[in-house]
Structure 1
């Protein structure tokens, strides 16, 4: 008795509708084996395109055949040759590999005896027809995308700063999405001002919450879609050109052109040279001289074998101190801080707000999956009722039932994944609280850019260096309040003028929570000081992501 491995493949919902479903193929192959006395030793099922053989199920099957030559079946059965491959060149190569393992591939609906040379011509027709169908579908898709862009519609994934929205006639249309749109608008404005390098603007936007790579950021500032234009790429004999898009622009066309002129004139501000002394002199420019109260700079002095780094004053007072001593002492002072427990709960709310897109998406995802599962169950129940009323055939009911059960299984896997994300959300909150509690570790392990951002938040406007590096004198009002730093000076006197973005309901709510938390501990705090605390926690949450 011959043995066979059944190979069953689908790639689209259309195939399932037209009779290429996994269940349908399996039934036909099993009947064929039963009628011809063939023993089925294995069944491979997968949902993957046949444009090449880089398919998970196929790769696993071939690996098994190569490791267990003695267990290879006599036949590899499938329904049609387009289930085997839609690429003629790859198909002939794979036929050679199967022949070396003494495995005969056979399509039960397009039976061919490949030992007869003339049948290879017919095989070429079957394989070429499938490949041509694939290429025709690809061309049709490209033409559809090109036509959509000519009409000013965006047919691809929504670019960063935009989201999809349904119009009154049910069509999808991209529209600005906040807060990304605000950040992108700000990026274009800062680049056009020609006061910073593109890399500096990118770093600032990342700290503001923008999530993209530097290469992606370059594509953003070069993309005319943000000024309401869509680039129609070169196609066939046409050259590339711009058309007016049907979407709302994020920036004016004049601002976009100004940015392009700046990027094209090759007079970009050069990137700042990364100095080796960066980590050694991280406090340079932040602390002030204890003698003349001028801002301290820093430099390296060459010894016999090493460079030694110092913070020093540029004035005639000639104050100088070893940087490693001050840096280590600063970290030690941060390690001595203990966070006020009342601010831990407030910080949780801040984290949920900063990452609200992720948290809201997880909640919506679980709800949607549960609704889809309920719909599939209702679909099966309705089909069973129709079967009992003799309004549909039993074969149709079995197809609907099998399809519904398959969809429920897949949705169940998605629901399990959503539960994992929910657990990750809680872990993210716990990790964020841990960072708040151990701000010394956060500072110590941060990059130079993040360290400077943290220093801006933690130190007062003009922190004067003192021998013991007393944070009660040098710390900002927010650091004093959040970490219960004991001092003899009213923290509110440390508040310096900040430029705040327009406050929304979240800021007001957090300010009220801070005031209530301080009052519960028997302390009075001004609205301005509470606002400082809220902005400190918010910026810390963004920096620590």
Structure 2
């Protein structure tokens, strides 16, 4: 009989993990050389050679799964021995290693480590096998613990230890210290997304669509994780452990958004019961939808997008078969240019100034009330920490409970202090806002461009009572409301108003005393019934001024 026919057959299992590739003692070439030499010395025939580049924490490895499946299916081609250099090449998980050894033995295959030979059929050798299998698992656990402790220590120092989130990039200083830095345009895109969600003009889907239109090229899940990531406000999160509670540390990197903006977004996201107004995901792209009619057939135009070669284009178009369509970007430019022509008549400056001051004063009063409640809440949280400290000293609670109460309260105090500081800054700016706001009565274009979708549609409704018609090159003459005509056309302005000159204007702009709210609109406008002005006309003008004052106030206090 041929001598080679009775030689036992062995498959060679060669495994390295990614971090071990550079180690010569674990290289695939070295392992194969050692295993083949062992087979030559012991007259063993080499069967298959399996190369694995995967961690041994589990047996869920690509090549091992494929190999073990072939052992189950091909009963006639099974080897008698499975060779590897050391037991840590076979497994670094004691429990799974024992289960796999029993499965191999059930298939008639004996696992053998050439550099750690062991006859596992001898009962006493089970202790040595347990030692060989346990040591790699202990090494893995210790290495993992050291890495986690190092990462936690780096986070406590305010460093981002992982891959930089969208809007940031990983960098290294000259001394080798790693950090993250904002990178454009993604940083601006993410900042805009936070502002849109916080102002409730966009829900998360709408903010994501707006971001993708401007260059955000990640998935929606990535966007969702990003807006929940406190790194954007300069905070590094440190997860809780059995010995330490969850905390946020001030990071060493540059924040993209403020803390108050970030936590406002989180409060909106976490309020699952709060339903934002239902609207189309792309409504903000069509502020003139519902205000335009088709030049050919007279039907109201709607809007939608069309995918081009490199980007998406948006059009106002007709429902009917006339196929009329207008590019949104060109039409919006024409509309904004048309708003340039609206200049407030100087006769109305004193009235607008008074009403704007009144509106800002009311807003300031509301913010003062909010400031009071914020200050009260901060005091309550500080008292809560003080009471917890007293309970700790008395022995009623242990140290871990006190740390949890203190950490949770301090996080809330920081958020409330940020809100309080922002409110106080706004209150200090009110005197400057009055002068700026008065000029905005004559800058409807600026109000329209900087406003949200609601502001755009409100301004359009206030100015144009009828549908707009355009051929894409210009807007056809459209009548404006009577109140707008009175305010922005000198020929139609009321007579008998307050006399107005530069000296009075200067005096009014520098006036800081509180204003008395007039009881009658006629008295406010300086009119009398003898001017042949109807009550409805006066009320329309006053209503328009009040509405514009509210829009300007919202714009100023953003």
Q: Normalising by structure 2, report the TM-score.
A: 0.53
Report the alpha carbon displacement of residue 168 of structure 1 after superposing the two structures with TM: 2.4
Closer, same or farther in 2 for the Cα pair 1:193/1:217, shift >3 Å?
same
Shift of 1:271: 5.5
> Which of 234, 245, 250 is the aligned partner of 2:240?
234
**Cα deviation, residue 200, structure 1:** 2.6
| Change over 3 Å in CA distance of 1:198–1:3 after alignment to 2 | closer
TM-score using structure 1 length: 0.54
Corresponding residue to 1:469 among 315, 322, 336: 322
Report the number of matched residues.
Answer: 330
Alignment of 1:151-190 (within 5 A): 151-190=157-196
In structure 1, distance between residues paired with 2:332 and 2:120: 91
**1:233-382 counterparts in 2 under 5 A?**
233-264=239-270, 268-270=274-276, 272=278, 285=290, 288=293, 295=300
Q: What do the CA deviations read for 1:20-77 (whole angstroms, capped 9, x no partner)?
A: 1111111111111111111111211121111111112212221222222111111111
Q: Is the 8 A contact 1:80 1:107 kept in 2?
A: yes
RMSD: 3.7
* 1:55-114 superposed Cα distances (whole Å, 9 cap, x missing partner): 122122212222221111111111111111111111111111111221111111111111
| Offset of residue 169 of structure 1 | 1.3
Determine the structure 2 residue equivalent to 1:143: 149
Are residue 112 (structure 1) and residue 118 (structure 2) matched? yes
Is the CA contact (8 Å cut-off) linking 1:6 and 1:43 kept in structure 2? yes
Offset from partner CA, 1:205-256 (integer Å, 9 cap, x none): 2322323444433332222211111111112400011111011110122322
Q: Is the 8 A contact 1:10 1:16 kept in 2?
A: no
Report 1:418-497 matches (<5 A).
433=309, 454=313, 457-459=314-316, 469-471=322-324, 474-476=325-327, 495-497=334-336
1:351 alignment counterpart: none
Flag structure 1 segments of 5+ consecutive residues without an equivalent: 298-326, 335-430, 437-452, 480-491, 501-527, 530-545
Q: 1:266 to 1:43 in 2, by over 3 A?
A: closer
Q: Which residue of 2 aligns with 1:20?
A: 26
Query: Superposed, which structure 2 residues align to 1:6-17 within 5 Å?
Result: 6-14=12-20, 16-17=22-23
Shift in CA distance, 238/217, structure 1 to aligned 2, threshold 3 Å: same
Distance 1:477 1:134, change over 3 A: closer
CA, structure 1 residues 28+287, in 2 after alignment: closer, same or farther (shift >3 Å)?
same
Aligned residue among 101, 122, 135 for 2:128 = 122
User: What residue ranges of structure 2 are gaps of 5+ in the alignment?
Assistant: 1-6, 338-444, 447-471, 474-558
Cα pair distance change 1:287/1:469, threshold 3 Å: farther
Distance 1:198 1:39, change over 3 A: closer
- Tell me the SS of whatever aligns to 1:195: coil
Cα distance in 2 between the residues matched to 1:494 and 1:261? 36
Alpha-carbon spacing, 1:17–1:261, altered in 2? closer, same or farther (3 Å): closer
Q: In structure 2, what is the equivalent of residue 439 of structure 1?
A: none
